[in-house]
Amino acid sequence: MGEATPPLPMPRHVAIIMDGNGRWAKSHGLPRFEGHRRGAEAVRRVVADARDLGIEALTLYSFSSENWSRPKQEIGELMGLLKRFIRSDLKDLHAKNVRLRIIGEGHPTDPEVQGLLDEAQALTRANTGVTLTVAFNYGARNEMARAAQALARQVAAGELRAEDITPARFAEALDTAGLPPLDLMIRTSGEQRLSNFLLWQAAYAELVFLPVFWPDFDRSWLERALGEYGRRERRFGGVEAGES
């Protein structure tokens, strides 16, 4: 008998740009909100699948800082969906040992949303299973600017020397401090751009773009992305011995 094929490498940290809710709804002759509602169901599936597959950290792009330019009715519907998701799913996530983290600037106008997000993080803080990080009111350029400002304040206060600001020290000032390095970035809907998501963290991540709208994303699509990741050779800017 031949030797068994070794298992493909598994990423520790996977991030997903959940794109295509509106186009999914349009393709089915449904209102945009129905696309967002079905997208929330896909979130439930992917969290469960990530936990089952042994992924250590899952980061989801739920609402960007640029999304505030959308129609007020759609924003209100999205906020209502977020509230319902937390109220209905928080106990289940906690029971399954999922740790919930929120990155971004928080909610600037709705204290109820901010209170629910804070409650969810506090309840699950000690959990040791998959870390589910939700990027809410998040933009990567803003994140890096806030990190730079925080470090500049430390320098101004004499707590830090400018020459001590290394890439590692800068990463510690980002919202994602404490998470494993980002290994795999997935974007659904067929679009092929990062849209201001985890720009620093994605420096050496593998990028996989899938031709599926987010509401239709399921375990088979996740496994397809994981398989693509496992087949790639990650060099982090280096070369193999003997290569020029």
Please state the residue numbers annotated as binding site for Mg(2+): 19, 206
Residue 209 β-bridge partners: 187
Q: Which two tokens stand for residue 140?
A: 């990567």
Kindly name the residue from 49, 67, 92, 127 that is annotated as catalytic.
67
Assign 21 to helix, strand or coil: helix
Q: Which residue has the tokens 């067929």?
A: 190
CA–CA separation, 69 vs 193, rounded Å? 19
Q: How far is C-alpha 62 from the geometric centre of its chain's CA atoms?
A: 8
Reported as type and span, the H/E element at residue 184 is strand 184-187
Backbone angles phi, psi at 16, to 5 degrees: -130, 130
Q: Which two tokens stand for residue 6?
A: 């070794």
Q: Which residue has the tokens 């298992």?
A: 7
Q: Which two tokens stand for residue 99?
A: 């740790």
216 is catalytic: no
Q: Which two tokens stand for residue 32?
A: 């945009």
Residue 14 β-bridge partners: 58, 184
> What are the E-state strand segments in the chain?
13-17, 57-64, 99-103, 131-138, 184-187, 206-209
Buried-state track 153-190, b at ≥16 Cβ within 10 A, e below 16: ebeeeeebeeeebeeeeeeebbbbeebeebbbbbbbbe
67 is catalytic: yes
Residue 202 β-bridge partners: none
Binding-site residues for substrate, in ranges, read 20-24, 32, 36, 64-66, 68, 70, 187, 193-195
Active-site residue numbers?
19, 67
